[in-house]
Amino acid sequence: MPFQVSPGVNFSEIDLTTVTPAVSSTEGAIAGVFKWGPVDTRVLIDSESTLVSRFGKPTNHNAETFFTAANFLSYGNKLYVVRTANTTAATNTAGVWNSIANTGSVTTRTAFNVKNQDDFDQKDGDGTLAGDTDVLYIAKWPGLAGNSLKISVCDSTNAYSSQINLISNSSINTNTTLTSTTISVGSNTATIRLANAVGANLTTVNTIAAGIISSLTVGDVISVGNSSIGKQYLKISSFDAAPTVNATHAYFTVSFDGTYNLAANTSVQDFTRYWEFFNSVDRAPGTSSYNSSFGNTSAVDEVHVAVVDEDGEFTGVPGTVLEVYRGLSRASDAKTVDGASNYYKTVINDASSYIWLANDRTNAVSNTAANITTSTNTKPLSLSFVDGSDGPAEDAVVFGDVARGYDLFGSAESVDISLVLTGKARGGTNGEQLANYLIDNVAESRRDCVVFASPDKADVVRNIGAEADSVITFRNSLRSTSYAVLDSGYKYQYDKYNDVYRYVPLNGDTAGLCVRTDDTRDPWFSPAGFNRGQIKNIIKLAYNPNKTDRDVLYKAGVNPVVTFPGQGTVLFGDKTLLSLPSAFDRINVRRLFIVLEKAISTAAKSLLFEFNDEFTRAQFKNLVEPFLRDVQGRRGITAFKVVCDDSNNTTQVIDSNQFIGDIYIKPAKSINFIQLNFVAVRTGVEFSEVVGQF
């Protein structure tokens, strides 16, 4: 008990309830080329739909990588995905570029390539993004998909809506037949004419017409009609860049994205134009409540922002509004009523899934609430994103970029994974470089996960008659290890996103079968065979090895994937790449020991810095033995023994501040070969006489 220096009662709690924890063995990991999403960042994905929303749909650019990930997710729901790319390349053919929304020429293009959140925080914090004020917005992630985006900003009352009166100047003739906006039923254009008054200067009328043009923005909505025939909103798709002038008139044409469909033609001398997304917010920008209370009360500091899928890349429907931000403030210290930031840059950069805000718009700059001023912009800002690039495809990407992505899985302390998917083979003489890199730098380093590989596409697709030799050549290029598994090739499957059929490597399915085995049985069961080895989402195999080929492949450590008529396509082997005769040349044994080592080592951490005495050693055995009995009861091992006493914890071990626990395991073995003997005997012979004689 702790010492007390005066009378009193003290109590202590001693926790002896520590147990060996359950550990996860179903998390997968993959790195490769994707068309959207953060670069060099681990993202946990739980389904194919989430994969699409975070990393984009597949294209010819990355189909093998995408469907390897998607196929794994058809068996399980935990896959860490890292998008790999070069974001520092000086050309958009060598690397990926973010799309940008800019108002002028861009002199420092690569400064606006932002690969992930940390990269943005660093560049935004050191002022790199502010280096070229012509760039106002940046697509959230690099890639050509960003070119589908459009940004629309409304930062003043006039930008939200304005009244356009054609006869507001004395130099204009007020005769409605000479000065008016005319639209005919069924037409998608309007002609705006301005005639000069008697004695007026035609140049003045032309200037007024040009001023009206300058007040319009493509996307603006025009309200037409009246109380008699009703009202219709027409969206501007284009308009003349300058008025045409004749002897008496200045006129120009406005085109709409739909036709005028009211009951009669209309001819008016004034009309109202609205911001394109006026119906997504309920009012024009005004003075925020924070600014009214703590800042310049006369300033209009609010801003509305809409993010649009202009080309339909993200939603499939061009013009879909992706995000709307209403009533944000340009005051850097603005707060909402619940104390959160209402500064428009902070809100957008934290919340948007599609854009970064880099710089203020001219005439609507940020400042503190006390010093903010009203925007002098009279029209909304509408900018399409441009200049995005996908960079090299998955078969041309630099190996170092892919390796850098997988390096994020190198530490067991950083992320818990069990299954590493190689996706497409790449690098080296036979495509073996990636698999060997993952064996050496991830699996053998961590020793708690298994690499799943497939041979090169050329080994099995349109390589008729030479598939077995090519696959074995690939296998012989790989390391000997119990921490890797090799299947026999590729499958042919349907790509619903592009309505085509594609060849996809099987390593995502092989790893997925391990997940399904974990869910239905335990990690120490074999994932192969007709009970647990059925392959999903398959039209046919690129290479369906026959019995002769299977004998050759299996002897080399390749697990055949075979289609049996009426029985489906199954993984028909459970070997690791360990070339030495050992129990660890089987997937189920390797994964059994990964589970045991991970669970027991996790539990053993509770003994760090305790005394190496009989009590601690007994505590260790009491942690481990119940766990192993449970595994034995679930058919993972046939017998075990835990030794942790003074026989292995000698005085020398104790004096070295060490602790040793020896755990002996007899792993259960999966059946790979079945021999059935059918013995015919004569009628008068007793079975007891012949049983065991053959």
Query: Six-digit token pair at 377?
Result: 């912009």
The pLDDT of residue 7 is 64
The pLDDT of residue 24 is 59
Domain with CATH 3.40.50.11780 in the chain: 28-85+394-588
> What burial letters (b/e) apply to 347-381, b meaning 16+ CB within 10 Å?
bbbeebebbbbbbbbeebebbebeebebbebebbb
Spatial separation of the C-alpha atoms in residues 616 and 658, rounded to whole Å = 12
Q: Quote the longest CA-to-CA distance of the chain.
A: 135
Q: Extract the residue ranges of the chain whose pLDDT is less than 70.
A: 1-25, 693-694
CB atoms within 10 A of CB 541: 21
DSSP assignments along 147-185, one per residue: GGEEEEEE-SHHHHEEEEETT-STTB---TTTSEEEE-T
Query: Six-digit token pair at 547?
Result: 């019995």
Contact 609, 630 (CB under 8 A): no
The pLDDT of residue 89 is 87
Spatial separation of the C-alpha atoms in residues 68 and 70, rounded to whole Å = 6
> What burial letters (b/e) apply to 473-511, b meaning 16+ CB within 10 Å?
bbbebbbebbbbbbbbbbbebebebeeeebbbbbbbbbb
The pLDDT of residue 5 is 59
Residues 3, 6, 12, CA angle at the centre, nearest 5°? Answer: 40
In Å, how far from its chain's centre is CA 88? 20
The pLDDT of residue 35 is 94
In Å, how far from its chain's centre is CA 132? 29
The pLDDT of residue 125 is 77
Q: Going by CATH, does the domain composed of 28-85+394-588 fall within 3.40.50.11780?
A: yes
Q: Coil, strand, or helix at residue 458? A: helix
The pLDDT of residue 591 is 94
The pLDDT of residue 103 is 87
Residues 431, 562, 585, CA angle at the centre, nearest 5°? Answer: 65
Computed from CA positions of residues 435, 441, 444, 449, in that sequence, does the dihedral angle turn out positive or negative?
negative
The model carries a pTM of: 0.89
Q: Coil, strand, or helix at residue 254? A: strand
Distances (CA, A) of 71 to 225, 493, 558, 587: 55, 10, 20, 20
The pLDDT of residue 12 is 47
Phi, psi of 464 (to 5 degrees): -60, 130
